[in-house]
Structure 1
């Protein structure tokens, strides 16, 4: 056992009790600069009887608090991510090894800000993509999406349905990244995709009919990888990408686009 392991958090009779005890202890620790609630508990209506509390703890630089040893703590009641203030500034952004964590901050709630608003201000910069971030992400994922879809349709053309279906399924994460980046939004985790679309629709440039058609195509692609569904989704994404000024990414594929358009 790690001899640095603190004697808390104390696991109470319920997750709410455990959470309340941890917050009470952490907020009186002078090394704690901020507490942030993430996960299902920060998404209204997504909590279940199995939901724990996901808390990100921000420590001041040079902190000696025993809480620093709790990074990665997991229990049925409470999961903790612990980082310094400087790490928090970078966490989830481009270049951070944990950039995949970005969506965890999109709807996160500040439970404690010991720096007079600094924690909340940093958190707000993570909630949406900056114009530069969105432009770069859309271009990067658009090229990956086209590549994966092209591979799938080539396999279909050449009589290889099994790899074609796998390639089609692998194109979907790239497609979702593109769609959200085109709206300067962070792609949600799959668990929260429908929640996000229901509460924060992609209205800018996507009609309700277009969005429903795209989602229908995604479901069909995941089900059997049908070329018809892939081309339907590509048509939506091509139109949106060109409207956003990403013609150069698409045009670089030259005559290969004929296969994608069918």
Structure 2
């Protein structure tokens, strides 16, 4: 997705930063280059679940290895970051699904009780959780928003409801005004996908509260 303001993001992986003068260039920034100098041990866990830098995970999904002097070690570590492991995906989908339902329930309860402004705020917070669920169900790392359409078009999530031309307008509507009917339509799709993937227990734990997400 090149623009008129391109730059390169480059990682240099070191066995030991104390043995290299390159360590002093960590976080070098210019108009054309962003440089990260990182030790191998740190690179193994960077962007992984539970880490404060978990947000960096997507930056590795399409990264290229330009030079690997460790007989493929760097490439293997990178490949582990590109997709979610089976257990990781299951845990991520379940956890984010619960968070999504919680936020949607709070939103629709506020709309029901005559507090649309507060319901709108909660509705906006459902969107990140919804995206995390949809991508985790396919063992994929949620892309940065900038690349969301590109990812959905390049590698669709299967169901036509999750195509770029159908999902993105739904998300924009929820972000725009929190429309309850749009929220319920999105929940219906996510509920079906989650149950098909074996996450019915997470949903059923909400009991009758789910009725608010299904009916006005």
TM-score class normalised by the smaller sequence: over 0.9
What pairs up with 1:151-170 in 2 under 5 angstroms? Answer: 151-170=106-125
Q: Which residue of 2 aligns with 1:65?
A: 20
User: Which of 89, 96, 100 is 1:141 aligned to?
Assistant: 96
Cα RMSD after superposing both structures: 1.3
How many Å separate the matches in 2 of 1:237 and 1:153? 16
How many Å separate the matches in 2 of 1:149 and 1:214? 17
Name the structure with the higher helix share: 2
Deviation for aligned residue 1:61: 2.4
What pairs up with 1:229-248 in 2 under 5 angstroms? Answer: 229-248=182-201
Task: Please tell me whether the aligned partners of residues 91 and 101 of structure 1 are also in contact (alpha carbons under 8 angstroms).
Answer: yes
1:220 and 2:168 correspond:
no
How many Å separate the matches in 2 of 1:55 and 1:177? 26
How many Å separate the matches in 2 of 1:131 and 1:241? 15
Task: Please tell me whether the aligned partners of residues 214 and 232 of structure 1 are also in contact (alpha carbons under 8 angstroms).
Answer: no
Q: Which residue of 2 aligns with 1:26?
A: none
TM-score of the aligned structures, taking structure 1 as reference length: 0.79
Task: Please tell me whether the aligned partners of residues 119 and 178 of structure 2 are also in contact (alpha carbons under 8 angstroms).
Answer: yes
How many Å separate the matches in 1 of 2:174 and 2:35? 36
How many Å separate the matches in 2 of 1:175 and 1:79? 31
Specify every segment of 5 or more residues in structure 2 that has no aligned partner in the other structure, as ranges.
none
Deviations 1:120-167 (A, max 9, x none): 111001000011000000001001100111111011111111111111
Task: Please tell me whether the aligned partners of residues 182 and 241 of structure 1 are also in contact (alpha carbons under 8 angstroms).
Answer: yes
Deviation for aligned residue 1:66: 2.0
TM-score of the aligned structures, taking structure 2 as reference length: 0.95
State the number of aligned residues.
214
Deviation for aligned residue 1:240: 0.3
Task: Please tell me whether the aligned partners of residues 168 and 225 of structure 1 are also in contact (alpha carbons under 8 angstroms).
Answer: yes
Task: Please tell me whether the aligned partners of residues 217 and 233 of structure 1 are also in contact (alpha carbons under 8 angstroms).
Answer: yes
What pairs up with 1:241-256 in 2 under 5 angstroms? Answer: 241-256=194-209
Task: Please tell me whether the aligned partners of residues 17 and 23 of structure 2 are also in contact (alpha carbons under 8 angstroms).
Answer: no
Deviation for aligned residue 1:214: 3.6
How many Å separate the matches in 1 of 2:53 and 2:24? 19
Larger of the two Rg values belongs to structure: 1
How many Å separate the matches in 2 of 1:91 and 1:210? 29
Deviation for aligned residue 1:57: 1.2
Task: Please tell me whether the aligned partners of residues 169 and 221 of structure 1 are also in contact (alpha carbons under 8 angstroms).
Answer: yes
How many Å separate the matches in 2 of 1:241 and 1:231? 15
Task: Please tell me whether the aligned partners of residues 214 and 236 of structure 1 are also in contact (alpha carbons under 8 angstroms).
Answer: no
Deviation for aligned residue 1:87: 0.7
Specify every segment of 5 or more residues in structure 1 that has no aligned partner in the other structure, as ranges.
1-45
Task: Please tell me whether the aligned partners of residues 58 and 83 of structure 1 are also in contact (alpha carbons under 8 angstroms).
Answer: yes
Deviation for aligned residue 1:235: 0.3
